[in-house]
Copies of this chain bind each other. A is one copy, B any other.
Amino acid sequence: MTGWIAVAGLGPGDEALVTDEVRSALAEATDVVGYIPYVARVAPRPGLTLHPSDNRVELDRAGHALDMAAADKRVVVVSSGDPGIFAMASALFEALEARPEPERFDIRILPGITAMLAAAARLGAPLGHDFCAINLSDNLKPWDLIERRLRLAAEAGFAMAFYNPRSKSRPHQFARALDILRETCGPERLISFARAVTTPDESLSTVTLAEATPEMADMRTVVILGNAETRRVGRFVYTPRSAG
């Protein structure tokens, strides 16, 4: 087959954070697939077919991309942020695993600025020491496992970045996560809420865990919890490089 698939990260929203590598792939593509708001970020042009699809159909979308590549199309699967961090790259490989001769597909993963990096940059440097990234959605894993990870991450002294902290379908879980973090990290630990970073809707706030409420986050928010050494300097929040 002459078709290919590029799974591309569009970054957090600002066009100045899209890489040339991703722009080149989009310029060569015949088809773009992805979640509706991400496909909306791709400029229409003659010869390019846009295939927006809804949330939670990642495997169908990945299968569609494989089918089109097998039919010699040049397909870009778009994610926001980075495609490898809680995004479409893993879904594509899950779909690929179910196909005969996976080696015949020409696949590239094109990295992007993932939300936690953009959020950390706006806030200062809260991820300047060892850290972890946890997806707080329990769509694909049991909530018990998430609670266990929060406790172990706190014990390890990691700063933590939380993706998908809260949705309408599970409003109580983020409250429970905050309770666990208060219990394990103490009320004075700093926590930052970075919403829609680098877009016109951007908002940033940093509070202590004692002050944090579940309503401070929604599905467009990345939440970053500092480690025990994280502190403010000027308008910034940062984590020192030395042991935390």
Complex copy number for this chain: 2
Interface residues contributed by chain A, number (CB under 8 Å) = 73
Partner of A157, one of B105, B140, B145: B145
A141 to B128 CA separation, bound complex (whole angstroms): 13
Partner of A125, one of B14, B84, B131: B84
A192 within 8 A of B: no
Query: Is B111's CB under 8 angstroms from A118's CB?
Result: yes
Query: Is B153's CB under 8 angstroms from A156's CB?
Result: yes
Partner of A235, one of B58, B90, B103, B135: B103
**Which secondary structure dominates where chain A touches chain B?**
mixed
> Which A residues are closer than 8 A to B by beta carbons?
11, 14-21, 24, 58, 82-86, 89-94, 96-97, 102-103, 105, 107, 109-114, 117-118, 120-122, 124-135, 140-142, 145, 148-149, 152-153, 155-158, 233-236, 238-243
